């Protein structure tokens, strides 16, 4: 594994920062590269995105929009 590679555990830890566009550019690129190579993390990202969308529609999202 290269030093700049991201592991699945890191994706789980960083997913909300990714969705909120709060990752530094280099980390975001590494995150997206991992998604290209890992179907499980891509599915996880989709599930989290869908959950957030449902919460927003239900009025339960406390995050800044």
Please spell the DSSP secondary structure of 35-58, one letter per residue. HHH-HHHHHHHHHHHHHHHHHHHH
pLDDT for 5 equals: 76
Please count the CA atoms within 13 angstroms of the CA of 1 that sit on its side-chain side.
8
- Structural domain of residue 37, as residue ranges? 8-58
Domain membership of residue 1 (yes or no) is: no
The answer to whether position 41 is within a domain reads: yes
Q: What are phi and psi of 61, to 5 degrees?
A: -95, 115
What pTM value is reported for the model? 0.79
Residue 45 domain flag: yes
What's the CA gap between 47 and 54, in Å, rounded? Answer: 11
DSSP class of 7:
-
**pLDDT tens for the chain, residues 1 to 65:** 555 578 999 999 999 999 999 999 999 999 999 999 999 999 999 999 999 999 888 886 555 55
Q: Are 23 and 14 in contact (CB under 8 A)?
A: yes
- In the chain, the number of structural domains is 1
Give pLDDT, residue 27.
Answer: 96
Within a domain: residue 42? yes
Residue 19 lies in a domain: yes
What is the reported pLDDT for 42?
Answer: 98
């Amino acid at each position: 594994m290269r030093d700049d590679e991201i592991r699945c555990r890191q994706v789980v830890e960083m997913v909300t920062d990714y969705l909120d566009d709060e990752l530094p550019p280099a980390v975001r690129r590494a995150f997206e590269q991992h998604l290209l190579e890992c179907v499980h993390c891509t599915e996880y990202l989709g599930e989290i995105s869908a959950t957030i969308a449902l919460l927003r529609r239900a009025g339960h999202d406390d995050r800044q929009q």
